[in-house]
Structure 1
Amino acid sequence: MSPKLVLVEPAGPLNVGSVARLCRSYGIEELRLVAPRCDPLGDEARLMAVKGLPLLQRARLFPTLAAALADCGRVVATSGRPEGEPLPLEDPDDALAWLLAGDPVLPSALVFGREDRGLSNDELLQAGRLLQVPTPTPHGSLNLSHAVAVVLHDLHRLDRQAPAPAVAAASQAPCPRGVLEAMLSDAEELLLEVGFLLPHTAHARMAKLRALLQRGQVSAPEVALLRGLVCQLRWASRRPFPSSQDH
């Protein structure tokens, strides 16, 4: 399953159209727009979309980033700021490999911010990983559609190299109840520490997962969601990650 591509408050219709064309070229099946500040179906956007026009026409609109990510497990956000990030910046290969390693049943997302000011700290904290496209100069901020092109190219390259059958088999492996209980306890402890930094959806997910576990009904996608939430919380709290054998 290809990740959802999310644009937060895009202001340039030419950029929106270009991104739709890129999505079509790289096999991205869904474009999500958060409170766009332009007409995403205007003449300029349509002109740039070319064969990506059908994808642009069915793009989903959301009022907030939290709403756009509500059904997603692993999320990678992009940032062009040189410092002051709420989470560590990663090399694109590392962040995108993590995205590709998620449960194939559960939606994932790539998030790009506003052309003029990117993503806020609150929005960045809704991701499990942050990446920055490296440039050789200190003035290397890229145009929105150019940044999308670079990231989708890297994603496609890594996806071709990934051992898909092994990833799929691992994602279907059963998760013992004791491990689930440990992850839930870990997440609940972390929520008390840094939960104020996260959207209300994180707290709602925790309550739902706890109720499902008590009834013995946690599905494979929900296990992946819990792992993603623990990962997100550990980034926010700067705690080290447990080994893959533990979780």
Structure 2
Amino acid sequence: MTGPAPLCVVLVEPAGPLNVGSVARLCANFAVHDLRLVTPRCDPSDPDALRMAVHGRSVLTSARIYPTLLAAVSDCSRVVATAGRLDHGTIPLGPPEAVLPWAISGSGQQPIALVFGREDHGLTNAELLLSQRVITLHSSDTYPSLNLSHAVAVVLHDIARLQTGPSPHAEPVLVSPETPETEPAGPKALEACLDDAEELLLEVGFLMKHTARARMAKVRGLLQRGLIRADEVALLRGMVRQMRWAVRHHRL
């Protein structure tokens, strides 16, 4: 029987060694062994980071560094991002109790990514669109952004509570059953399909270069919200490639 998928914590451009060390400690607290850093703006081996990691030093020293968020989550089956900003455009946000049960209901060997943004301005909309779901925590509307390590603590605690079961006095949390057949497509496969689609749509004149980025972001958001599967992405990509071949050979 396949067990729950492993978790990985992804920090995008963290600037503070104290925060990075604290997150490594939190990973150890909640038995998360996979810490990923996207172009960190501080040295993960800084003495302050090592001091704050305490018994999570092994997590910190084994943390992997990636050049982009897409590279960091390319092997993940589910990607959940966090956002404390209010200027997120049309990207839908959900509270932890609505998003996290879905996030951890997957199984298999592919990790589930929990993505946290920069201390000063979080994640960009383009980065948020690489995830299937986006969490916003129950903080005040007048000051929604939490300290990076505090946000990680809240999310990991909520996941641990869901995994170990509610207390006898808690309200039950309903989780929709998931099977491997309904696992969403990974970010790398979806991005490749969208790149092919954008190229075709530019060729046929549906997209213009100056508006392509915004319009493709809407398409990406639509597919992510629909939790498009890997086999469905493969089908769409095959259709796009065949249409592009037909256009180039004047078969339409």
Shared fold per TM-score greater than 0.5: yes
Tell whether the 8 Å contact from 1:12 to 1:38 is kept in structure 2 after alignment: yes
Measured in 2, the distance between the counterparts of 1:76 and 1:132 equals 11
Tell whether the 8 Å contact from 1:17 to 1:47 is kept in structure 2 after alignment: yes
Measured in 1, the distance between the counterparts of 2:218 and 2:106 equals 17
Aligned equivalent of 2:192, options 204, 208, 214: 204
Q: Which residue of 2 aligns with 1:145?
A: 149
Aligned equivalent of 1:129, options 125, 128, 133: 133
Does 2:41 match 1:37? Answer: yes
Q: For residue 204 of structure 1, report the CA deviation from its aligned partner.
A: 3.2
Measured in 2, the distance between the counterparts of 1:132 and 1:45 equals 26
Aligned equivalent of 1:117, options 115, 118, 121: 121
The SS at the match of 2:221 is: helix
Q: Deviations over 1:168-222 (max 9, x none)?
A: 9x635xx5xxx99xx9xxx9xxxxxxxxxxx775243799xxxxxxxxxxxxxxx
Q: Which residue of 2 aligns with 1:65?
A: 69
Q: For residue 105 of structure 1, report the CA deviation from its aligned partner.
A: 2.5
For the pair shown, the structure with the greater C-alpha radius of gyration is 2
Are residues 70 and 238 of structure 1, via their aligned partners in 2, closer, same or farther at CA, if it must alter by over 3 Å?
closer
Letter in 2 for 1:44: D
Does 2:115 match 1:88? Answer: no
Q: Which residue of 2 aligns with 1:211?
A: none
* Residues paired across the two proteins, number: 195
- Structure 1 gaps of 5+ residues are 188-198, 208-231
Does 2:114 match 1:106? Answer: no
Measured in 1, the distance between the counterparts of 2:226 and 2:41 equals 38
Does 2:221 match 1:236? Answer: yes
Q: Which residue of 1 aligns with 2:179?
A: 171
Measured in 2, the distance between the counterparts of 1:72 and 1:49 equals 25
Tell whether the 8 Å contact from 1:93 to 1:158 is kept in structure 2 after alignment: no
Tell whether the 8 Å contact from 2:80 to 2:131 is kept in structure 1 after alignment: yes
Q: Deviations over 1:38-73 (max 9, x none)?
A: 001110000100000011000000000000011011
Tell whether the 8 Å contact from 2:13 to 2:37 is kept in structure 1 after alignment: yes
The SS at the match of 2:33 is: coil
Aligned equivalent of 1:56, options 53, 60, 78: 60
Measured in 2, the distance between the counterparts of 1:127 and 1:154 equals 19
The SS at the match of 2:10 is: strand
- Structure 2 gaps of 5+ residues are 167-174, 196-216, 233-252
What is the alpha-carbon root mean square deviation over aligned residues? Answer: 3.4
The SS at the match of 2:31 is: coil
Measured in 2, the distance between the counterparts of 1:73 and 1:124 equals 16
Letter in 2 for 1:29: H
Measured in 1, the distance between the counterparts of 2:120 and 2:23 equals 17
Tell whether the 8 Å contact from 2:38 to 2:67 is kept in structure 1 after alignment: yes
Measured in 2, the distance between the counterparts of 1:239 and 1:200 equals 13
| 1:150-229 alignment, distance < 5 Å | 150-161=154-165, 171=179, 175=181, 201-204=189-192
Q: Which runs of 4+ in 1 moved over 4 A?
A: 232-235, 238-242
TM-score, normalised via structure 2 length? 0.68
Q: For residue 35 of structure 1, report the CA deviation from its aligned partner.
A: 0.2
Are residues 145 and 204 of structure 1, via their aligned partners in 2, closer, same or farther at CA, if it must alter by over 3 Å?
same
Are residues 233 and 84 of structure 1, via their aligned partners in 2, closer, same or farther at CA, if it must alter by over 3 Å?
closer
Tell whether the 8 Å contact from 1:32 to 1:61 is kept in structure 2 after alignment: yes
Are residues 47 and 240 of structure 1, via their aligned partners in 2, closer, same or farther at CA, if it must alter by over 3 Å?
closer
The SS at the match of 1:5 is: strand
Measured in 2, the distance between the counterparts of 1:144 and 1:16 equals 9
Fraction of identical pairs, as percent? 46
Measured in 2, the distance between the counterparts of 1:239 and 1:114 equals 23
